[in-house]
Amino acid sequence: MLRKFSAAACLAGGLMIQAIAADNELQLLSRSHVVLENPGLNAAQWRWVREHQRLRLAVWQPMAPPYDITTGQNDYGGINADFIGLIADNLNLKVVVKRYDSYDGAVEALKNGQVDLLAQAGQNEHRAGLILSVPYSKNKPVEVINIDNPPTQNVKNIAFCAGFDQKKLRASYPGAKVNGNLSGRHALEALAFRHLDLFICDGVTTQYLISQSNLSNLSTRPLRQSIDNAGFSFAAIPQNGPWIEIIDKVLKALPVSVDIEIHRRWNGGIPLSLSEQRPLYTSLEKKWMAEHRDIRVAVVAENMPVSWFTPAGQMRGIIADILTALRLRTGFTFKIQSYPNFEAAFKAVEEGHNDVIAGAVEESIWQHHLLTTQTWLYNSWVMVGKKHSPSRLEAPRIVVQATLAPGMWLSKHDKEQVEIVDTWRAGLDRVGEGKGDIMIMPLIVANEWLLSPDYSNLKILGSVDTPPMRFSFGAADHFYPLVTVLNKALINIPPEDLHAITRNGSSGNELALSNVNPLLAYKKMWVALAIFLGIGIATGIWRFALLRRRVQQLTLSVGLSDKSNQGKSIFLATMSHEIRTHLSAVNGMLELITARPQDTKANHQRVMVALQGAQSLLALTGNILDVSRIEAGKLVLYPERVSLLDLIESVAVLFESQAAQKGLAFRLELDSELEGQVLVDPLRLRQIVSNLLNNAIKFTPSGSVTLRASRENAAVSGMVNLRLEIEDTGNGIEPAVQQRLFQPFSQGQDSQMGQGSGLGLYICRKLAEMMGGEILLTSTPSQGTQVAVRLLLPCLAPLAFSERAANNSATAQQTPLTVLIVDDNPAGRMLLEHQLKHLGHHAVSFTCAEDLLNYLGLHPASLVITDCNMPDMAGVELARVLRSDFPTLGVFGLTADARDSTRDEALEAGMHACLLKPVTLERLAENLRHFSPLPDKGVKTPAFVIPPALLEGEKGRTFLRLQLSVIEETLAWLPDHAHVSDAFIKSGLHRLRGGLQLLGVDEIEALCISLEQCVQPEGMASLEVSLKVLRAALEERLHALSNVLQQVGDGGMS
């Protein structure tokens, strides 16, 4: 039987090693999901994310829980996984986790570019030349001690976790022997068994491992001498600096509560809560679950604290709590059947008497050819022997339980040394009677059994040098759907709940109670009952208080949610009303114009009404965008030199006619002291005045509206204290309404009037505050309203006459431009063509970027206006091509995307301006006035001649094609001339000069001679531009010559 056991163990171990070696890529298992409204990336960083699309993370053996954990064979979870998952989710990235055999292998892969990141990095990685992100886990090192054997001042044996500056730590413990080859788990076990005096590790790892292994005799305390430790970061090579910058921004954008939630999840410090939502199952899984409601579970009877039974036959222990959690997540009814040992339990599953076995370890399940689920507990193998046994035994007699032992470790010992027993009790009895030296048991099981007085002469001698075991569920092959369902349910149980289950899974030492005097047992039972009732009452009071507090928090959250939903509803209702109102005017007027084209006089008025409706819609969308920018803190002012009188008069002219149409008197009162110029954003100042005048006219049924501008005394020299007043004789505003008028989406009380979006006054107040001013409202019901705007603006000295004249002439005169339009939308092309022709420019339109580029190869142009979102080539990509091939050409972009990031990306690509649709005539004219074509650096279309001998028939066409091929070859290597040898450059230029001499292009030939003698970047760039112009001219001549030859050929044939 032992031979069979060892062979199966070796086979299982070999298969496991092969599986790990064959598949080094793990599946990320992140348990945190938070959506950030704005991670804060700029356009270049978003472009980096889009170009890479995946993030490769290196992990290495052995794993360091709780930072990295593999609960199954190919999944990767833990604190690192939670944070990297949050980063990936918010950047829409795929995460590839690659596992390496060692830390050195992971670092080498990082430096070779096979992966992008390492996790759990600190100062050691920084000193090795890697760059670090901001810390995602600000853990601190602590001392772990055995409270039953506290260390003295002179510590003899210590161990350190990886990741800390061990040189500094050693200095704090002079003379101590350092054990450097222990994992965190084995170091804690050695400390618990008194083989170490002190262990130094981070607090998060320590708390997790102590909770997992149920090492109740260990405790933590601060370091004797604190060291600087920022925490764990992500690390990358310097070439991947953008990844670190991007990760920094996402980590900084995460709420503090996310960090707290992740660390609390993994520190084992939260009480059990079985209120999680059920996992998402596939339709096939749901069908299988409906058909198999009852699941038969095989459990070993005496396997404390994993499973045990009361005298009444009720199961208790860790398995009972886990099955309860699974029942809440699956709806299964688990039918428990107990067996005396694991061999009998496995046999029952193999023969179909049960569906699943619980409480077994993964290695044993594999030996019986069953499927395994996710791991729900890691635990170490330990050796149990007599208290006075020697620390090292040369050839110990080993006792193991059948089908539950570390097979790979046992295979290193002679078969004669190993004795197999059926139960834990039988094995411990053998060791207690001296018939065996050590028994191999799980640590959590050994701790529980050794509490019994029957085994008071035994103790844990140490841990077995083998990877920790994995407790899982096992099922037969044909129950594969059950395994997938259980996997989803186990993943759905929070790690903190599993910690609580394993920590509180003690059997209460039922084993000890079953072997003592009955009277003493009853006495102890009553004492335990009293304690239990006391704890229950205290817990009930605590839970009631906690429940009441949670109910209060939930009520508050519901109230805030309702308020938020109400705000959304108000916003949607308001916007819907405003949009439909203006659209109905536009649509109705255009329908009338279409139906009555002959009614010229009325149609003009209808067009004006439709135009006003469209402009109101545009203003509404502008207000919504302004509010979003204000709320995000991204609204920027662009101050410039402005004449206050001219600006206020221009606004007044617009609203004077609007007031007249309503029968209102409009008065404009200007202070003569406002003569002069100030520094202010004219667009935003005009927006404030326009919004206030529009409200005054809208809500005044009769009487007058007055716009008054004056200059008050300024306390600061060189400043203008501007006071604007808009006064009306309307119905006034109630005091209660005045309190909310400057809030977004808030409106007045008069339902008879047009209400508007409720955004204008809010935007005005914010703009005034950004300019360092304020808005004051005074209103009396039935008497009217006065709104005062006070702004403190810098006063500018007047321009000299010559400078002013030069500016005016530059504005007044503009050479007509040749503008090329690229837009896949026919309406957009037609509108822009008519606008440009109205402004006196020549326009040529194209449906795609390819047609535009072909045209530019033959014809000169001043400016390209391109739509930013086209199917074949986006406007940003086209701009980069134009900047590279036609550096003197201007580029404007058109977009309907109002986000600042879109505009920034366009300008970074080389566009001169990015205009937001719809573009008005005034806006287009203003941008064209400020645009001046780049100089061609003296490059003109060169005059060339074809030698007379080549003008007959096909000779001219052949000659031109030959010259064009030489120019194309030269242009192919010119942009990369810095990476080409000087000999190649001289040879290429010499060959080019031969054709240039025949064409008589002296200027370009002279430039080639100069560059042959001394290569200069400026000269090469000038040559590239000149050759492109010459190429276009030659292609045009070749096209014309081909047409002539075609016509001659057609005539000859006729």
879-934 pLDDT, tens digit per residue, is: 988 888 888 888 999 988 777 677 878 888 888 888 888 888 888 888 887 776 65
Confidence (pLDDT) at 511: 46
Residue pLDDT, tens place only, 138-189:
777 888 888 778 777 778 888 888 767 777 777 778 878 888 767 788 888 8
The predicted-structure confidence for 283-308, as pLDDT tens digits, reads as follows 888 889 889 989 999 999 888 888 98
Which CATH number is 517-635's, of 1.10.287.10, 1.10.287.130, 1.10.3720.10, 3.40.50.720? 1.10.287.130
Pairing assessment for the beta strands 458-463 and 141-146 based on DSSP bridges: unpaired
For residue 269, the model assigns a pLDDT of 45
929 neighbors 817 (Cβ within 8 angstroms): no
Delimit the CATH 1.20.120 region(s) of the chain: 948-1053
If DSSP codes are grouped into helix, strand and coil, which group holds residue 418?
A: strand
Report the pLDDT value the prediction gives residue 247, as an integer from 0 to 100: 94
| Rounded to 5°, angle at Cα 248 from 243 and 251 | 120
Q: Which two tokens stand for residue 326?
A: 């699974």
Answer whether 625's CB lies under 8 Å from 897's CB. Answer: no
The average pLDDT across 711-734 equals: 83
**3-class secondary structure, 132:** strand
Q: Is residue 339 pLDDT above 90, yes or no? A: yes
HSE of 368, CA atoms in CB hemisphere, 13 A: 27
The per-residue pLDDT for 1052 is 44
pLDDT digits (tens, 9 = 90+) for 937-994: 444 556 666 665 555 556 677 777 778 888 888 887 887 777 777 777 887 887 788 7
d(Cα 893, Cα 856) in Å, to the nearest integer?
A: 18
- For domain 283-331+358-514, give its CATH number from 3.50.50.60, 3.30.1490.70, 3.40.190.10, 3.40.50.720: 3.40.190.10
Domain boundaries 141-220, corresponding CATH code: 3.40.190.10
Q: What pLDDT sits at residue 1046? A: 61
Q: What one-character DSSP code corresponds to residue 748?
A: -
Q: Per the omega criterion (within 30 degrees of 0), is the bond before 468 cis? A: no
**What does the DSSP 8-state code read for residue 734?**
-
CB 215 within 8 A of CB 192: yes
Per-residue pLDDT of 231-243, as tens digits, reads: 889 999 999 999 9
Beta strands in 212-307 (DSSP E): 218-222, 233-236, 294-300
Q: Name, of 427-431, 609-613, 658-662, 718-722, the range with top average pLDDT.
A: 427-431
Q: If you average pLDDT over residues 250-270, what whole number do you get?
A: 76
Q: Where along the chain do the CATH 3.30.565.10 domains lie?
A: 638-798
Q: Spell out the SS3 assignment of 90-123.
A: HHCCEEEEEEECCHHHHHHHHHCCCCCEEEEECH
Give pLDDT, residue 893: 92
CATH architecture of 638-798: 2-Layer Sandwich (3.30)
First to last CA, the chain: 106
Can you give the pLDDT at residue 834?
A: 87
Per-residue confidence (pLDDT) for residue 81, from 0 to 100 = 92
List where CATH 3.40.190.10 sits in the chain. 2-137+234-266, 141-220, 283-331+358-514
Q: Which residue has the tokens 């030269």?
A: 970
Q: Domain 816-930's class?
A: alpha beta
Among 184, 205, 151, 200, smallest CA distance to 463 is for 184
SS (H, E, C) 969-1033: HHHHHHHHHHHCCHHHHHHHHHHHHHHHHHHCCHHHHHHHHHHHHCCCHHHHHHHHHHHHHHHHH
pLDDT higher than threshold 70 for residue 403: yes
Q: Tell how far CA 183 is from the center of its chain.
A: 33
pLDDT at 1036 over 60: yes
Most confident of 165-174, 400-409, 557-566, 604-613: 400-409
In 591-718, which ranges are E strands? 640-643, 665-670, 677-680, 704-712
pLDDT at 539: 66
pLDDT in tens, 657-716: 788 888 899 999 988 888 888 888 888 888 889 889 988 888 888 899 999 999 887 656
Residues β-bridged to residue 843: 819
For residue 820, what pLDDT is reported? Answer: 92
Average pLDDT, integer, range 614-624: 65
Residue 172 CB partners (closer than 8 Å, separation 6+): 223, 224, 225
Place of tokens 């096909």: 954
How far apart, in whole angstroms, are the C-alpha atoms of residue 378 and residue 186?
13
**CATH code 3.40.190.10 for 2-137+234-266:** yes
* Residue recorded with tokens 């520094």: 679
Q: Sort 352 into a burial class: Cβ within 10 Å, 0-12 / 13-18 / 19+.
A: exposed
Residues of the chain within CATH 3.40.50.2300 domain(s) are: 816-930
What are 305's two structure tokens? Answer: 């604290």
> Is the pLDDT at 756 greater than 70, yes or no?
no
Which range of 58-67, 236-245, 549-558, 914-923 scores highest in mean pLDDT? It is 236-245
Q: pLDDT of 488-537, one tens digit each?
A: 888 888 776 777 777 665 544 444 444 444 444 455 556 666 676 767 67
The pLDDT of residue 492 is 80
pLDDT of 402: 83
pLDDT of residue 639: 79
- CA gap 511, 629 in Å, rounded: 69
CB under 8 A, 24+ apart: contacts of 799-808: 799/641
Quick one: pLDDT at residue 826?
83
d(CA 265, CA 262): 5
Q: What percent of the chain has pLDDT over 70?
A: 77
Angle at 668 between CA 662 and CA 669, to 5 degrees: 155
Q: Is the preceding peptide bond at 305 cis, omega within 30 degrees of 0? A: yes
Average pLDDT, rounded, for the chain: 78
pLDDT score of 740 more than 90 = no
Q: Specify the long-range contacts of residues 870-873, CB closer than 8 Å, at least 24 apart.
A: 870/822, 870/823, 870/824, 871/824, 872/824, 872/848, 873/848, 873/849
| Architecture (CATH level 2) of domain 948-1053 | Up-down Bundle (1.20)
Could you read off the pLDDT of 769-811 as tens digits, one per residue?
888 889 988 888 888 899 999 998 888 877 654 444 444 444 4
Is 234 within 8 Å of 197 (Cβ atoms)? no
pLDDT band of residue 574 (cuts 50, 70, 90) is low
